[in-house]
Amino acid sequence: MAKKEIKNKSKVAKKTAAPKQVSSGRVYVTATFNNTLVTLTDSTGNTLAWGSAGGSGFKGARKATPFAAITAMEKVASKAKTFGMTAVEVYIKGPGPGRDASIRALRSAGLNITMIADVTPVPYNGPRAKKKRRV
């Protein structure tokens, strides 16, 4: 027997969410030696936008440059402007070359930086000590 095809002719209109209007938020910058990751969140921590040096078109060793970090931050800052964001808190983690460059790019994009915090994890006791020397 042949299967009957049932066609539903009623079309459901897709709901399009209006862009959120957020006046202030947070920017998390993770600067590693190989890449720079940028995450934009609202004040409660919900992610609104993100970007990276690799996502901005840089590959290999060029990802680990301050210029790549600036490019990634400019993309995220332009998304922040579409949400109506004017003030941000910046949380920086890591020792990479994109640390200072990303803050400068955020400032030049026109966003007001209310706070800068370094949240790089630092061990209290460090790695295991070398064994005692025997003579």
Domains defined along the chain, listed by start: 24-118 (3.30.420.80)
Contacts of 34 (CB under 8 A, 6+ apart): 63, 64, 96
- What is the model's pLDDT at position 20? 75
Query: How far apart (Å, rounded) are the C-alpha atoms in residues 113 and 86?
Result: 9
Angle subtended at Cα 83 by Cα 104 and Cα 91, rounded to the nearest 5 degrees? 40
Question: Residue 54 CA to chain centroid, in angstroms?
Answer: 12
Q: How do residues 67-87 score in pLDDT, each as one tens digit?
A: 999 999 999 999 999 999 999
Model's pTM, two decimal places?
0.78
